[in-house]
Structure 1
């Protein structure tokens, strides 16, 4: 049985990004369904506050944010690689743009009334309102794209993607890489979850062909797992040792300090714990959970704020 446990839900675009990476690397994994909106008590028992989706669990190690999860899966299964040898930096830069700027435009376009009807039309009354209120709370204080502005921006971004895909099969190289998986998931959401809003793709056949090729990768080999069993797995395990990792201090906060880590934007719920590692790429917090025992919660540096508790 695989030790890779993905906490996710079917309509989550960032989860689709990781599901497809798992498929690309032909990894077996265990699937834990989480609610799309709060409360998420079983997930928060592991993360300590972080509520964005997805989360990767390996024993008592909890990995937050898809940028970090992709690095973890690359380390687990280096071939096929997510990082083109000649364009590693470019792939990361494009992926960060896709996960932020492209994603925001695609979501603002997709989640108009017709798109919400696609998502929630067959669900009980109130589901759409609960989702909208939850996402408003997650993005409190952030500027919101108006639908017309989102559509204009999305068409420009699709045109740029199309120009890249007219001469090659993938965005950076001949085979899928990190940039492809990051650019795919917001367009997947628009195309498959809000089909009433997917007409924006019609003018870009090279993008639609690329979407088809990406979708054909599939999700690897998942097995269902109950969230309570995932917590029990964490409680029975020990976090991986962090001794010997190079400490990169940018904040004047020594290892062993009580700290919080939270996203810079969208879903700013903080996780508090003991800072046990701060490398050039990520932070690790040790925390105690009543149900999960001692866990290490890992965050990437980029996109997250470290503060003394």
Structure 2
């Protein structure tokens, strides 16, 4: 198997989720630090348009969205399990809630003026304005929580997590699973990136104790890598063969058609390419870039929209 190359940046919550999976499974990986805002020409060379963070590269295969990255890492490195057999369903459902409902409540709370001031304190005003404008573009059309409503929701969610970890070391028992890394990452942002907002944890000490246990998983064995080298890796590799005999057609779009795939809500920039696989869980597009060569870009079906190109 080719090296795991994670494209991320330090303060990205979803990147922290995947860094913890690397630690949980004690994996070696290469770290490509990408910009937090557009333009991202090296990212687009590999993904074709998708610019959310993180994404995982294995040779000439590009895996978008942290939910899919978790599935890929579990398939390639099944021990210790992110999805224990007796928890496969409930852990996935909980992780999806944490990656969406919990995440957006936490971030609306975190990025109130008091938190934003701390986040950007060491950056020039233009950088803060660029970040705000970038995220406004990525969230165009989304319904966002107001800070007061987010605070109420976040407190409630922290109490619910506390109820789960008061009796166990982790959310569903004695060992961590995907539910723990998914619930942890938005709380990590509060604690590590905007610590002035971390007083919200005072009412739930069991949560901070649990967070310490999750943080102790570490980040695995990381090696710095450049974006240029990652693109060279893709250009010199062949994408893995796809499972072409498992085709689940829910759109009336044939394999081989020119299509786009885009996120349903946040970060809806489309990736265009040839649909070469549509399995029960993912879409795969083949596309060619002048720098990266021919790559396969993979997306989860849940949370993404497939459309035929005009």
Per the TM superposition, whether the score is higher than 0.5 is: yes
In the other structure, the counterpart of 2:248 is 248
Deviation of residue 160 (structure 1)? 0.6
In the other structure, the counterpart of 1:151 is 151
Deviation track 1:30-88 (CA, whole Å, cap 9, x = no partner) reads 00010000000001000000000001000000000000000110011101100122110
Deviation of residue 243 (structure 1)? 4.2
Q: Is the 8 A contact 2:6 2:30 kept in 1?
A: yes
In the other structure, the counterpart of 2:128 is 128
Q: Distance in 1 between matches of 2:2 and 2:120?
A: 33
Cα RMSD (Å) of the superposition? 1.0
In the other structure, the counterpart of 1:15 is 15
Q: Which runs of 5+ in 1 are unaligned?
A: none
Q: How does 1:293-304 map to 2 (within 5 A)?
A: 293-304=293-304
Deviation of residue 93 (structure 1)? 0.2
Q: Is the 8 A contact 1:45 1:292 kept in 2?
A: yes
Matched residue count: 309
Q: Distance in 2 between matches of 1:2 and 1:156?
A: 43
> Secondary structure of 2:203's partner?
coil
Q: How does 1:17-56 map to 2 (within 5 A)?
A: 17-56=17-56
Q: Is the 8 A contact 1:285 1:296 kept in 2?
A: yes
Q: Is the 8 A contact 1:2 1:28 kept in 2?
A: no
In the other structure, the counterpart of 1:198 is 198
Q: Is the 8 A contact 2:286 2:297 kept in 1?
A: yes
> Secondary structure of 1:234's partner?
helix
Q: Which runs of 5+ in 2 are unaligned?
A: none
Q: Distance in 1 between matches of 2:87 and 2:229?
A: 40
Deviation of residue 268 (structure 1)? 0.1
Q: Distance in 1 between matches of 2:268 and 2:173?
A: 35
Q: How does 1:36-115 map to 2 (within 5 A)?
A: 36-115=36-115
Q: Is the 8 A contact 1:245 1:279 kept in 2?
A: no
In the other structure, the counterpart of 1:291 is 291
Q: Distance in 1 between matches of 2:250 and 2:156?
A: 37
Moved more, 64-73 or 243-252: 243-252
Q: How does 1:168-247 map to 2 (within 5 A)?
A: 168-247=168-247
Deviation track 1:119-155 (CA, whole Å, cap 9, x = no partner) reads 1101122211111111011000111111000000001
Q: Distance in 1 between matches of 2:126 and 2:175?
A: 43
Q: Is the 8 A contact 1:277 1:283 kept in 2?
A: yes
Matched, 1:257 2:257: yes
Moved more, 225-234 or 243-252: 243-252
> Secondary structure of 1:105's partner?
helix
